[in-house]
Amino acid sequence: MSRVALITGGMGGLGEAICIKMAALGYKVVTTYSPGNKSWNEWLDSMNKMGYGFRAYACDVADFQSAKSCVETIVKEVGAIDVLVNNAGITRDMTFKKMDSVNWDAVMSTNLDSVFNMTKQVCDGMVERNWGRIINISSVNGQKGAFGQTNYSAAKAGMHGFSKALALEVARKGVTVNTISPGYIGTKMVMAIPTDVLDSKIIPQIPMGRLGKPEEVAGLVAYLASDEAAFLTGANIAINGGQHMH
Protein backbone atom coordinates (compact mmCIF):
# COMPACT_ATOMS: atom_id res chain seq x y z
CA MET A 1 0.00 0.00 0.00
CA SER A 2 1.48 3.35 -0.99
CA ARG A 3 1.82 6.05 1.65
CA VAL A 4 -0.19 9.25 1.59
CA ALA A 5 1.67 12.57 1.59
CA LEU A 6 -0.15 15.85 2.26
CA ILE A 7 1.65 18.99 1.14
CA THR A 8 0.06 22.31 2.12
CA GLY A 9 0.47 25.11 -0.40
CA GLY A 10 1.45 22.56 -3.03
CA MET A 11 0.55 24.78 -5.97
CA GLY A 12 3.39 27.27 -5.36
CA GLY A 13 6.85 26.82 -6.89
CA LEU A 14 8.39 24.91 -4.02
CA GLY A 15 5.20 23.02 -3.15
CA GLU A 16 4.78 21.87 -6.74
CA ALA A 17 8.34 20.51 -6.86
CA ILE A 18 7.70 18.61 -3.60
CA CYS A 19 4.43 17.16 -4.97
CA ILE A 20 6.16 16.01 -8.17
CA LYS A 21 9.07 14.42 -6.29
CA MET A 22 6.81 12.57 -3.85
CA ALA A 23 4.61 11.29 -6.70
CA ALA A 24 7.70 10.04 -8.54
CA LEU A 25 8.57 8.01 -5.43
CA GLY A 26 5.15 6.36 -5.39
CA TYR A 27 3.34 8.39 -2.71
CA LYS A 28 -0.32 9.22 -3.10
CA VAL A 29 0.00 13.01 -3.18
CA VAL A 30 -2.62 15.36 -1.80
CA THR A 31 -2.32 19.13 -1.65
CA THR A 32 -4.36 22.03 -0.29
CA TYR A 33 -5.29 25.30 -1.93
CA SER A 34 -6.68 28.40 -0.29
CA PRO A 35 -10.46 28.76 -0.74
CA GLY A 36 -9.95 32.02 -2.71
CA ASN A 37 -7.74 30.34 -5.33
CA LYS A 38 -9.72 30.39 -8.58
CA SER A 39 -7.09 28.66 -10.71
CA TRP A 40 -6.60 25.50 -8.63
CA ASN A 41 -8.51 23.42 -11.17
CA GLU A 42 -6.24 24.47 -14.04
CA TRP A 43 -3.14 23.58 -12.00
CA LEU A 44 -4.58 20.18 -11.05
CA ASP A 45 -5.61 19.41 -14.64
CA SER A 46 -2.21 20.35 -16.06
CA MET A 47 -0.40 18.24 -13.46
CA ASN A 48 -2.66 15.23 -13.89
CA LYS A 49 -2.36 15.40 -17.69
CA MET A 50 1.30 14.66 -17.01
CA GLY A 51 0.18 11.57 -15.11
CA TYR A 52 0.78 12.56 -11.49
CA GLY A 53 -2.67 11.71 -10.10
CA PHE A 54 -2.67 14.49 -7.48
CA ARG A 55 -5.73 15.27 -5.36
CA ALA A 56 -6.44 18.81 -4.17
CA TYR A 57 -8.69 20.08 -1.37
CA ALA A 58 -9.72 23.58 -0.33
CA CYS A 59 -8.34 24.47 3.08
CA ASP A 60 -7.72 27.69 4.97
CA VAL A 61 -4.67 26.46 6.89
CA ALA A 62 -4.91 29.47 9.21
CA ASP A 63 -8.33 28.27 10.44
CA PHE A 64 -8.49 25.26 12.78
CA GLN A 65 -11.98 24.11 11.76
CA SER A 66 -11.13 24.36 8.06
CA ALA A 67 -8.00 22.25 8.64
CA LYS A 68 -10.02 19.71 10.63
CA SER A 69 -12.75 19.22 8.04
CA CYS A 70 -10.22 19.17 5.18
CA VAL A 71 -8.14 16.39 6.78
CA GLU A 72 -11.27 14.39 7.71
CA THR A 73 -12.32 14.46 4.04
CA ILE A 74 -8.84 13.44 2.84
CA VAL A 75 -8.69 10.51 5.28
CA LYS A 76 -12.12 9.35 4.10
CA GLU A 77 -11.41 9.72 0.37
CA VAL A 78 -7.69 8.94 0.09
CA GLY A 79 -6.51 7.34 3.34
CA ALA A 80 -4.66 8.10 6.55
CA ILE A 81 -1.90 10.69 6.18
CA ASP A 82 1.62 9.31 6.64
CA VAL A 83 3.65 12.38 5.64
CA LEU A 84 2.66 15.99 6.33
CA VAL A 85 4.68 18.79 4.74
CA ASN A 86 3.74 22.17 6.23
CA ASN A 87 4.75 24.33 3.29
CA ALA A 88 1.99 26.97 2.99
CA GLY A 89 3.24 30.47 3.68
CA ILE A 90 2.91 34.13 2.78
CA THR A 91 5.00 37.28 3.16
CA ARG A 92 3.84 40.76 4.16
CA ASP A 93 7.17 42.57 4.25
CA MET A 94 7.62 46.01 5.79
CA THR A 95 9.83 47.63 8.40
CA PHE A 96 8.72 47.24 12.00
CA LYS A 97 7.99 50.97 12.10
CA LYS A 98 5.32 50.42 9.39
CA MET A 99 4.19 46.97 10.60
CA ASP A 100 0.58 46.89 11.74
CA SER A 101 -1.31 44.17 13.56
CA VAL A 102 -3.19 43.13 10.40
CA ASN A 103 0.05 42.24 8.55
CA TRP A 104 1.57 40.71 11.67
CA ASP A 105 -1.49 38.52 12.29
CA ALA A 106 -1.81 37.46 8.63
CA VAL A 107 1.74 36.08 8.54
CA MET A 108 1.63 34.50 12.00
CA SER A 109 -1.66 32.74 11.32
CA THR A 110 -0.79 31.48 7.81
CA ASN A 111 2.83 30.57 8.53
CA LEU A 112 2.80 29.42 12.16
CA ASP A 113 -0.74 28.78 13.45
CA SER A 114 -1.19 26.62 10.33
CA VAL A 115 1.54 24.26 11.58
CA PHE A 116 -0.49 23.59 14.73
CA ASN A 117 -3.79 23.46 12.82
CA MET A 118 -2.59 20.86 10.31
CA THR A 119 -0.30 18.79 12.54
CA LYS A 120 -3.01 18.46 15.20
CA GLN A 121 -5.21 16.62 12.69
CA VAL A 122 -2.64 13.97 11.73
CA CYS A 123 -0.25 13.45 14.64
CA ASP A 124 -2.38 11.12 16.80
CA GLY A 125 -2.99 8.80 13.84
CA MET A 126 0.73 8.64 13.08
CA VAL A 127 1.47 7.79 16.73
CA GLU A 128 -1.18 5.04 16.73
CA ARG A 129 0.31 3.50 13.56
CA ASN A 130 3.89 3.92 14.88
CA TRP A 131 5.01 5.68 11.71
CA GLY A 132 4.86 9.27 10.53
CA ARG A 133 6.80 12.18 9.11
CA ILE A 134 6.11 15.84 9.86
CA ILE A 135 8.26 18.20 7.80
CA ASN A 136 8.06 21.95 8.36
CA ILE A 137 9.31 24.29 5.64
CA SER A 138 10.90 27.27 7.38
CA SER A 139 13.43 29.74 5.95
CA VAL A 140 17.00 30.98 6.23
CA ASN A 141 15.41 34.22 7.45
CA GLY A 142 14.00 32.38 10.46
CA GLN A 143 17.60 31.50 11.33
CA LYS A 144 19.37 34.79 10.67
CA GLY A 145 16.61 37.42 10.54
CA ALA A 146 15.87 39.71 7.60
CA PHE A 147 15.28 43.43 7.26
CA GLY A 148 11.54 44.13 6.91
CA GLN A 149 10.52 40.65 8.03
CA THR A 150 9.89 40.72 11.79
CA ASN A 151 6.60 38.88 11.19
CA TYR A 152 7.99 36.30 8.73
CA SER A 153 11.22 35.67 10.68
CA ALA A 154 9.31 35.22 13.94
CA ALA A 155 6.85 32.77 12.37
CA LYS A 156 9.59 30.78 10.62
CA ALA A 157 11.72 30.59 13.79
CA GLY A 158 8.60 29.52 15.70
CA MET A 159 8.15 26.58 13.33
CA HIS A 160 11.44 25.10 14.48
CA GLY A 161 10.64 25.57 18.18
CA PHE A 162 7.46 23.60 17.48
CA SER A 163 9.43 20.88 15.63
CA LYS A 164 11.87 20.39 18.50
CA ALA A 165 9.22 20.15 21.20
CA LEU A 166 6.90 17.82 19.27
CA ALA A 167 9.87 15.66 18.17
CA LEU A 168 10.55 14.91 21.85
CA GLU A 169 6.95 13.86 22.46
CA VAL A 170 6.64 11.42 19.56
CA ALA A 171 10.22 10.14 19.16
CA ARG A 172 9.49 6.71 20.63
CA LYS A 173 6.45 6.25 18.40
CA GLY A 174 8.20 6.09 15.03
CA VAL A 175 7.20 9.65 14.18
CA THR A 176 9.85 12.23 13.25
CA VAL A 177 9.43 16.01 13.19
CA ASN A 178 11.95 18.14 11.34
CA THR A 179 12.43 21.60 9.89
CA ILE A 180 13.96 22.54 6.55
CA SER A 181 15.27 26.10 6.17
CA PRO A 182 15.75 26.95 2.49
CA GLY A 183 17.68 29.99 1.38
CA TYR A 184 16.80 31.85 -1.80
CA ILE A 185 15.24 29.33 -4.18
CA GLY A 186 14.32 30.11 -7.80
CA THR A 187 10.55 30.11 -7.27
CA LYS A 188 8.06 32.60 -8.73
CA MET A 189 8.09 34.47 -5.40
CA VAL A 190 11.87 34.96 -5.53
CA MET A 191 12.00 35.57 -9.30
CA ALA A 192 9.54 38.44 -8.73
CA ILE A 193 12.37 40.29 -6.93
CA PRO A 194 13.81 42.87 -9.38
CA THR A 195 16.77 41.41 -11.32
CA ASP A 196 19.12 44.18 -10.24
CA VAL A 197 18.36 43.44 -6.57
CA LEU A 198 18.90 39.71 -7.10
CA ASP A 199 22.16 40.26 -8.97
CA SER A 200 23.62 43.01 -6.80
CA LYS A 201 22.37 42.17 -3.31
CA ILE A 202 21.12 38.60 -2.93
CA ILE A 203 23.25 36.35 -5.13
CA PRO A 204 26.56 37.92 -3.93
CA GLN A 205 25.60 36.74 -0.38
CA ILE A 206 25.37 33.12 -1.57
CA PRO A 207 28.80 31.43 -1.73
CA MET A 208 27.59 29.09 -4.49
CA GLY A 209 26.77 32.18 -6.57
CA ARG A 210 23.30 31.04 -7.62
CA LEU A 211 19.74 30.53 -6.44
CA GLY A 212 18.71 27.09 -5.23
CA LYS A 213 16.45 24.89 -7.32
CA PRO A 214 13.01 23.83 -6.00
CA GLU A 215 13.97 20.23 -6.92
CA GLU A 216 16.94 20.39 -4.53
CA VAL A 217 14.65 21.19 -1.61
CA ALA A 218 12.16 18.55 -2.78
CA GLY A 219 14.97 15.97 -2.67
CA LEU A 220 15.62 16.83 0.96
CA VAL A 221 11.91 16.51 1.78
CA ALA A 222 11.91 13.09 0.11
CA TYR A 223 14.84 11.96 2.24
CA LEU A 224 13.24 13.15 5.50
CA ALA A 225 10.04 11.32 4.51
CA SER A 226 11.89 8.05 3.89
CA ASP A 227 12.43 5.02 6.11
CA GLU A 228 16.18 5.73 6.03
CA ALA A 229 15.61 9.02 7.88
CA ALA A 230 14.03 7.29 10.89
CA PHE A 231 16.85 8.37 13.27
CA LEU A 232 16.71 12.03 12.24
CA THR A 233 14.33 14.12 14.32
CA GLY A 234 14.15 17.58 15.86
CA ALA A 235 16.66 18.87 13.32
CA ASN A 236 16.69 22.11 11.34
CA ILE A 237 18.42 21.42 8.04
CA ALA A 238 19.72 24.47 6.22
CA ILE A 239 19.75 24.33 2.41
CA ASN A 240 20.96 27.75 1.37
CA GLY A 241 24.09 27.44 -0.78
CA GLY A 242 26.30 28.41 2.15
CA GLN A 243 24.61 31.77 2.72
CA HIS A 244 24.16 31.17 6.44
CA MET A 245 26.04 28.62 8.53
CA HIS A 246 25.82 28.00 12.24
Where in the sequence numbering do the catalytic residues fall?
152
Q: Is 61 exposed, middle or buried (0-12, 13-18, 19+ CB in 10 A)?
A: buried
CB 182 within 8 A of CB 190: no
Q: Nearest Cα to 157, choosing from 121, 116, 111? A: 111
Q: Nearest Cα to 110, choosing from 173, 67, 145? A: 67
- The interaxial angle of helices 64-77 and 114-129, nearest 10 deg, is 40
Cα(130)–Cα(222) distance, rounded to whole angstroms?
19
* Amino acid identity at 7: I
Q: Nearest Cα to 230, choosing from 182, 167, 153? A: 167
